[in-house]
Chain A
Amino acid sequence: MQLSHRHLYCCATLGVLSLLSAGVFAHNISESNARFVEALSGPAVVAFGYLGAKHMITGFDHLLFLLGVVFFLSRPRDVVVFVSLFTLGHSITLLLGVFAEWQVNAYLVDAVIGLSVVYKAFENIGGFDRAGRFHLDARFAVFAFGLFHGLGLATKLQGLTLTSEGLITNMLSFNVGVELGQIIALAVILLILLRWRVSARFEQQAFAANTVLMTCGFLFAGYQLAGYYVAIQ
């Protein structure tokens, strides 16, 4: 199957629409889930693992960033390196953040996450340096933004008033769930990208797709900043 222009526009439109509709719940663990988790005491490996995976798969900001990261990575080794750096980054702050009870404003963290999507897409279209796509800076950036994504996850997880009993087990389960969700999401993203790359128009469409990605990133950041502004009023 070749991805035509029409497919690309469909994907882009769907992407924007789903971002808009997902905006309402993206990044908030749903109320019934929250009530259930708060009623738990002691370790609940599967429940927290499931929540972590669900959070990753329904969190459009994470998915958009992942798409940006792997967009031009064709060698499996590069995919593994970049995704591992991202995973390492968000695991560190997720675990540290919950454990040390960091109180960070979720809106501001999410705004940075939105801007991380813009950064990555801008880098993809050669905004920083076309030749420098794989040098250390790109890796460092992915790691650094991973730290922010983890901070976002930590604030969400702390939003559930967790009992200290079984906290470490539950936190680790959530993190493992996040990684499993990320693998599932990545598999789908890579599958689509592999098909897309063989298309003759890929180079041309890649520019447009990354511009759409930047739009989504700005939109998400703006949505979160507006939320912050409304909340402090």
Chain B
Amino acid sequence: MNSETSRRSLRKALLAMLAAAAGAALLLLTLVLPAEYGVDPLGTGEAFGLLGLSEQPPAAVTPQAATFAVDVVRFELASFESVEYKYRLPAGASLQFGWEASGATVFDLHAEPDGAAEGFAESFSSGKADADYGTYIAPFPGIHGWFFENRSPLPITLTLTTAGFYRTATEFRDGWEMPRQLPPVSETLVP
């Protein structure tokens, strides 16, 4: 092999390596980094919907700065009367809840993110029932809670019990807003 052909083949090989490195960098930046690590330098992960692939499952333990509060409220709902009751929660804060009503009640568990447009709400669970129990974990900071409506001809009594990392709740009824302070459990339940 003379030196001219070997120089040409070396140049060809170097070009191939450059192309390979460029191709790998492109795949890495557009697909692999967003999909594997949620790192999205070019915004392609967002555009192709790849970012969810690297999301970690929620942690088993989410620490909070202070202890939780408990709240028990009772609502008397006349026929076709409704009420909204919401807690202020930071993102990731949990809420244990249980409510029971004397008759089937229309409910909607939803949240309004801080900074969202007026009237915007994300609904998580809705339907018609006379009881519901569960754990809610706030996906974003904002106010989180229930809309209850009695669509029966008879009055309904509904009792909502919760425990969670909140300090305030607000009741919305007939155009009124009634804020409530909810002290930490150490001040209310511990003797």
Residue in B6, B10, B20 whose beta carbon sits within 8 Å of that of A218 in the complex: B20
Give the chain B neighbours of A223 by CB distance below 8 A. Answer: 28, 32, 36
Give the chain B neighbours of A129 by CB distance below 8 A. Answer: 6
- Given A126-B10, A127-B10, A130-B1, answer yes or no on A218-B21 (Cβ-Cβ < 8 Å): yes
Query: Once bound together, how far apart are the Cα atoms of A54 and B6, in whole Å?
Result: 42
A-to-B contact residues, CB < 8 Å? 16, 20, 23-24, 118, 121-122, 125-127, 129-131, 207, 210-212, 214-219, 222-223, 226-227, 230
Contact with A along B1-26 (1 / 0, CB 8 A): 10000100110111011011101110
- Given A125-B16, A219-B32, A226-B33, answer yes or no on A130-B6 (Cβ-Cβ < 8 Å): yes
B-to-A contact residues, CB < 8 Å? 1, 6, 9-10, 12-14, 16-17, 19-21, 23-25, 27-28, 31-33, 35-37, 39
Give the chain B neighbours of A126 by CB distance below 8 A. Answer: 9-10, 12-13
Can you list 6 A-B pairs with a CB-CB distance of less than 8 A? A125-B16, A215-B21, A218-B25, A223-B28, A226-B32, A227-B37
Query: Once bound together, how far apart are the Cα atoms of A223 and B34, in whole Å?
Result: 11
- Given A131-B1, A230-B37, answer yes or no on A222-B32 (Cβ-Cβ < 8 Å): yes
Give the chain A neighbours of B1 by CB distance below 8 A. Answer: 130-131
Give the chain A neighbours of B19 by CB distance below 8 A. Answer: 211, 215
- Given A227-B36, A227-B37, answer yes or no on A219-B28 (Cβ-Cβ < 8 Å): yes
Is B39 touching A222 in the complex (CB atoms < 8 A)?
A: no
Is B17 touching A122 in the complex (CB atoms < 8 A)?
A: yes
Is B28 touching A226 in the complex (CB atoms < 8 A)?
A: yes
Q: Chain B: which residue is nearest A208 at the CB level?
A: B16
- Given A218-B25, A219-B32, answer yes or no on A207-B16 (Cβ-Cβ < 8 Å): yes
Is A125 touching B37 in the complex (CB atoms < 8 A)?
A: no
Give the chain A neighbours of B33 by CB distance below 8 A. Answer: 226
Is A118 touching B27 in the complex (CB atoms < 8 A)?
A: no
Query: Once bound together, how far apart are the Cα atoms of A223 and B37, in whole Å?
Result: 9
Is A127 touching B39 in the complex (CB atoms < 8 A)?
A: no
B105 to A: closest C-beta gap in Å: 43
Residue in B16, B27, B39 whose beta carbon sits within 8 Å of that of A219 in the complex: B27
Query: Once bound together, how far apart are the Cα atoms of A226 and B35, in whole Å?
Result: 12
Query: Once bound together, how far apart are the Cα atoms of A212 and B21, in whole Å?
Result: 10
Q: Chain B: which residue is nearest A124 at the CB level?
A: B13
Query: Once bound together, how far apart are the Cα atoms of A130 and B32, in whole Å?
Result: 33
- Given A218-B25, A226-B37, answer yes or no on A211-B16 (Cβ-Cβ < 8 Å): yes
B94 to A: closest C-beta gap in Å: 26
Give the chain B neighbours of A24 by CB distance below 8 A. Answer: 36
Query: Once bound together, how far apart are the Cα atoms of A125 and B35, in whole Å?
Result: 32
Query: Once bound together, how far apart are the Cα atoms of A95 and B36, in whole Å?
Result: 31
Residue in B16, B28, B36 whose beta carbon sits within 8 Å of that of A214 in the complex: B16
Residue in A127, A215, A227, A230 whose beta carbon sits within 8 Å of that of B24 in the complex: A215
